[in-house]
Amino acid sequence: MAGKSELLEYIVNPLRRFGSNIVGACRDLLPIILVILIFQLAVVRQPFPVFLDVFIGLIFVIFGLALFVVGLEIGLFPMGEAMAEAFARKGSLFWLLLFGFGLGFSTTIAEPALIAVAKEASMVAANGKLIASDPASMGSYALGLRITVAFSVGIAILVGLIRILKGWPVQYLIIGGYTAVMIMTAFAPKEIVGVAYDSGGVTTSTVTVPLVAALGVGLASTIRGRNPLVDGFGLIAFASLLPMVFVMGYGLILFR
């Protein structure tokens, strides 16, 4: 049975911080509200949509952001760090890498933004006569893109974790990756370049980012000789770089 003190510890105390987070959330949203308001009043001067809806919506956004930050502090961050530490203790490279790959792959394959981009991309490719414009071949092209991107994010996290363990400087890998992107841009079909660049941006979702950041930082703090700031970050950068390389590779294999 959950006693009164447990309720206090797990629900009430975190919610106390909620108050100060509300202030923070208001401050975070102020710029958007100002930009939209100023442009609305001074430049566009269109009739304002239903005021009550907008007001309620803003309250939702502010509460949501504040709750999210509380959840980060007591849920996502401790979880990511606890797992990093447990993996380091267990000392099994295989399971750690499998976990990293799984985290990247599973969060990406079902990502709604990626599904939208892949669908859009299949239309672009059909218009460019790269693939037949019947639903079946467009569908399989879109699915192929999604699997390629998810696979590349999995590999990115995996490589990023190896990098933390070995202490390789992040810039060599990233600059190498950029060089690959530039060379491939020159050869890849034009229809896939835009999609490739965008797929790098859509892969990192709001729940994955804190987990991945906590995992990297946790791992770098547990391993002797690693600096959490220098070595712990960088996983997200890999996860947004590698999809570009893989998607252009997919285009090159498929269309050349």
Partner 1 sequence: MELLIKFGHTLVLTVKDVFPVLALLLFFQLVVLRKPIPNWKRVVAGFVFVLMGLALFLDGLETALFPIGKIMAKQLSSPEFVFGSKTAPPGAPWHAYAWVYIFGALIGFATTVAEPALIAVCYKASEVSRGALSQWGLRLAVAVGVAIGIGVGTFRIVTGTPLYVYIIAGYVIVVIQTVFAPRDIIALAYDSGGVTTSTVTVPLVAALGLGLSEAIPGRNPALDGFGLIAFASVFPIMSVMGYAQLAHWLELRSLRASRKER
Subset of 138-197 contacting partner 1 (CB under 8 A): 169-171, 174-175, 178, 181-182, 185, 190-191, 193-195, 197
Question: CA angle, corner 12, sides to 10 and 15, nearest 5?
Answer: 100
Using the rule CB under 8 A, give the single segment among 130-138, 140-148, 226-234, 247-255 that binds partner 1. 226-234
Residues 26-65 that bind partner 1 (CB under 8 A): 28-29, 31-32, 34-36, 39-40, 43-44, 46, 48-49, 53-65
Cα–Cα distance measured from residue 141 to residue 126, given in angstroms and rounded to the nearest whole number: 10
CA distance readout (Å), 46 to 36, 39, 49: 12, 10, 9
Q: Which of 16, 123, 139, 140 binds partner 1 (CB under 8 A)?
A: 123
Query: Is residue 22 near partner 1 by the rule CB under 8 A?
Result: no
The answer for residues whose C-beta is within 8 angstroms of residue 119's C-beta and 6 or more apart is: 142
Q: Which of 189, 233, 249, 255 binds partner 1 (CB under 8 A)?
A: 233
Sign of CA dihedral 46, 51, 55, 60: negative
Query: Is residue 16 near partner 1 by the rule CB under 8 A?
Result: no
Query: Is residue 118 near partner 1 by the rule CB under 8 A?
Result: no
* # residues contacting partner 1 (CB under 8 A): 110
Using the rule CB under 8 A, give the single segment among 117-125, 129-137, 138-146, 245-253 that binds partner 1. 117-125
Using the rule CB under 8 A, give the single segment among 69-77, 136-144, 248-256 that binds partner 1. 69-77
For residue 8 the two structure tokens come to 């206090």
Cα–Cα distance measured from residue 63 to residue 91, given in angstroms and rounded to the nearest whole number: 41
- From the CB of 8, what's the least distance to partner 1, in Å? 12
**Could you tell me if 157 and 104 are in contact, meaning their C-beta atoms sit under 8 angstroms apart?**
yes
Query: Is residue 222 near partner 1 by the rule CB under 8 A?
Result: no
By three-state DSSP, how is residue 129 classified?
A: coil
Between 112 and 134, whose beta carbon lies closer to partner 1?
112
CA distance readout (Å), 207 to 12, 59, 77, 100: 23, 22, 11, 15
